[in-house]
Amino acid sequence: MTLRSILGVSVAACVLLAGCGSPAPAASVDAAPPPVTADARAPAVDLPWPGRSAAESAGLQQAVDDGAQPWLLDPAELARSYASAAYGWDSVTATATGDSVELTGPGGVRRVLTVAQPGRTGSGGIWVVTADSAE
């Protein structure tokens, strides 16, 4: 097994163990997510998400290239995953347009995410959330 394969498998395993790239809540791994409200509270994740550094994004890109985490290739799927990690939303509508995704969550709460491809651009490049704002 080559070093590249080992690193790809290691990154993929770490991402899977972390809940498909979703970080644990800051207070405790066992803590329940805060209730969803219609306010513009800060998300429970750090941005950019899911790769907070160039090295993490490169590792995620490699994992996708190796066949794991295909949801990172679709900005709408990325946004739905982000809404789950950041707000605990299990039902959300995501509409992607260019470098933004409009989310509509429980109770009609609306957010607009800015997304970008940190490395490779086009159909084979992963997407990350770079900004989150109330609509």
pLDDT 10s digits, 95-133: 999 999 999 999 999 999 999 999 999 999 999 999 999
Residue 24: pLDDT above 60? no
Structural contact between residues 128 and 48, judged by C-beta atoms closer than 8 angstroms: yes
Q: Which two tokens stand for residue 81?
A: 């995953």
Is residue 33 domain-resident? no
Residue 37: pLDDT above 80? no
State residue 43's pLDDT score. 80
Residue 53: pLDDT above 70? yes
Tell me 102's DSSP state: E
Q: Which residues pair with 97 in a beta bridge?
A: 100
Name the 3-class secondary structure at 26: coil
Is residue 29 domain-resident? no
* CA pair distance 119, 117, nearest whole angstrom: 6
pLDDT bin (cut points 50, 70, 90) of residue 41 is low
Is residue 55 domain-resident? yes
Is residue 39 domain-resident? no
Residue 10: pLDDT above 60? no
Q: Which two tokens stand for residue 35?
A: 């209730």
Question: For the chain, how many structural domains are there in total?
Answer: 1
Is the C-alpha dihedral spanning 72, 74, 75, 79 positive or negative? negative
The average confidence (pLDDT) of the chain is 79
Is residue 36 domain-resident? no
Give residue 90's domain range.
3-23+44-134
Q: Which two tokens stand for residue 20?
A: 């498909």
Residue 18: pLDDT above 90? no
Q: Which residues pair with 4 in a beta bridge?
A: none
Amino acid identity, residue 135? E
Q: Which two tokens stand for residue 119?
A: 């490395």
Is residue 127 domain-resident? yes
